[in-house]
Structures are given as C-alpha cells and as structure tokens.
Chain A
Amino acid sequence: MTEPMLWTDGNALGGPLRDVFMMDITAATGRCVTCGRTDPIAQARLFDHAPGMVARCSNCDQVLLRLVRAPGRAWLDLQGLAFLQVAMPEDV
C-alpha cells in the first residue's frame, strides 16, 4: 500500500448518474469492452479530480465511462461498456 490510491469507486456515481438515468445505476452490471469483466458499476475505479468523472475497469484499468456536467446539460461517454444490465420492476 505504498502507492497513493487516489481513486474512489462507482458508489460515488450514484447521485451523478441518477441525474441522467432517473434510477440507481450503481447496482447495474456493466461489461468492460476491453477485458470482458462484468461487474456492478459500484465496483469500478472512479477518478473524480479532473473536470468530470472517469470510471475505469477494476480489472484492466481501461475507461468504462466518462461523465461531464455543464450548466443545463450532461455529457456521458459509455464507449468502454459493452452493455449495462439494469434490474427493472416487474410491472415495467
């Protein structure tokens, strides 16, 4: 544990992604395009010291998603994710 572990994790995307999706995405499962690891978004490594938030795969460190907010809009790059699997209520 000598390196300064500057990242947090996808749990902290709960609020920002809910602004976009209107539902919790931390429990959603995503597959990394690069290595195929399939994990809850909450388990991604989150770097949020830059302008915007960058989530990286906890296995291969490649970018899964990027989220940038500006007044009146959000910009979401999902090209690192092959899919998102989201639990849906039975009646939807």
Chain B
Amino acid sequence: MAGTTVLGRLTWRAAQVVGLRDESPTARTLVLDVPSWPGHLPGQHVDVRLTAEDGYSAQRSYSIASAPGSRLELTVQRLADGEVSPYLTEELHEGDPLELRGPIGGWFVWRPEAQEPVLLIGGGSGVVPLMAMVRTRRANGGAVPMRLVYSTREPDTLLYRDELARLGERDDGLRVDLVYTRRAPQGWTDPVGRLGAARLAALTPRAGDQPASFVCGPTGFVESVANLLIDQGYRPERIKTERFGPTGN
C-alpha cells in the first residue's frame, strides 16, 4: 500500500514548522510541512533529532497526531526535566526547520480498512496516537464503531478538548468518554479517580465483542488497563499497547 511502507532505510528529513497550537499549558502541537513525506498510518511515530552547534545531538520519538494528509502534526508534552520537549514546546517558532524521520512502527497501528469495532484507551499524552486514529476514521467518513476512553488528570491537562467534544456529539459511531483522575470540571457527575475495574467495565464493550483494542499512556497506566481488560475477558492478542515510561501526563 503506497504511503505506508515499512520497508527500506529511514532517511532524515528537514521538516518546516508551519504552525504551533497550544493544547494545554504544557502541551503543544507542531504543524509540520515535510518534503516528500510518504504518508503514514495512525498509531505510527517519528524520531525527532535536535543537534546543537557543537555537534551534540539528542533524539526522541513522538507519536503522530494527525490523519494522513498534507501536514504532519505532532503533539508534544513538555517534561519538566526533559532535554528535547522543552525546546519543542517553548523555543521552536513558525518557520524553523526540524529534523525528523519516519513514519515508524508496523504493530501499534490502526488500518482504516479494517471493519471491526475499535476500542481506544489513552492515559495522558497517550491519547495522541489514538487521536490520529479518531481523525483518520473521521477523514475517511468511516462507519466503524469506535470508542475512546481518555483518562487525564484535570481539565487543564485535557488535550483536543473542543475537537473531541465536537466529534463525540456527531452520533456517527464514535463515542468519547473522559475520565478525570484528580479534578473534574464543575458539574461533573462521574466519579473522579484512576480508571479502576468497575469504571473500565462500565466504559468498554462487553468482552464478548472482542474489539480491536489500543491502549497507550504511561507504563503504569498501560499495565493496569491491559490487565483489567484481560480480567474482563478480553483476549491478550486483541490488545495492542504502547508505553511512554514513568511519566507522560
């Protein structure tokens, strides 16, 4: 399939920043123009490389947030002790170049031609690759039932708030459920706290449906949710996971 190849050498490309969008006080979306971008599948990531004047370079992986299209979007969560994310979220300007390579990854991907129902569960910035799946479904006018359960700390840390609200209200087979773990907006009636067994069971399809499931977030979140899904009767081979490490809110 053209544009989604996972064969051949990855080459570093000089992207250009054509837009910046703050998603939360600590997360920013970089809108990039990437010459000769071969296209991507939702769920894939890119490697970004920063090189200092003295030659020192640092490399990190970032999930692609956008559906395949003319622009590539990455949403970057700033880590307080980070080496790369503070630069990307605070110092990068429109018009700046950015070195990246990709798309990378052939396993944690959703293929939009698949007809089976999809369950997406994201913790913190783990929602980013799942957002690419939601957007791809929408861009394709897809009718595949898709549910997104998105756990975030508080209203301030919620990414894509307006877009998720809009998409969730369309009633076209996409359902979006938010879980606040520390503090919810005023008037919120659902429980506040970590996604435990009872809450997860209430928000996910019956195990018998065995949807194609994608879980992404901090390692502790992913381990917990994947184990709870298996306890619910989901088959492990139906659950694809991606872990960001100890942090990643």
**Inter-subunit contact A9/B241 (CB<8 Å):** yes
A80 at the interface (CB under 8 A from B): no
- Interface size in chain B (residues, C-beta < 8 A): 27
B7 within 8 A of A: yes
Chain A residue contacts of B102, Cβ below 8 A: 15
Verify if B220 is at the interface (C-beta below 8 Å from A).
yes
Would you call the interface of chain A mostly helix, strand, loop, or mixed? Answer: mixed
Across-interface contacts of A4 in B (CB, < 8 A) = 246
Stretch at the interface among B72-80, B104-112, B134-142, B204-212: B104-112
Contacts of B61 in A (CB 8 A): 12, 14-15
CB-based nearest B residue for A5: B219
- For the residues of B in contact with A, the DSSP-based class is mixed
Residues 109-131 (chain B) with a chain A CB within 8 angstroms: none
Which residues from chain B contact A18 at a C-beta distance below 8 Å? 6, 9-10, 104
B187 CB within 8 Å of chain A: no
Tell me if A14 and B45 are in contact (CB < 8 A): yes
Q: A19 at the A/B interface (Cβ < 8 Å)? A: yes
| B242 in the interface (beta carbon within 8 A) | yes
A8, A22, A26, A42: the one contacting B244 at CB < 8 Å is: A8
Q: Tell me which residues from 169 to 200 in chain B have a Cβ below 8 Å from any Cβ of chain A.
A: none
In the complex, are the beta carbons of A19 and B10 less than 8 A apart?
yes
30 A-B Cβ contacts within 8 A?
A: A1-B220, A5-B219, A5-B220, A5-B223, A7-B219, A8-B245, A9-B219, A11-B107, A11-B243, A12-B61, A14-B61, A15-B47, A15-B61, A15-B101, A15-B104, A18-B9, A18-B104, A19-B10, A22-B8, A23-B7, A23-B8, A24-B6, A24-B104, A24-B106, A26-B106, A26-B107, A27-B6, A27-B107, A40-B107, A42-B105
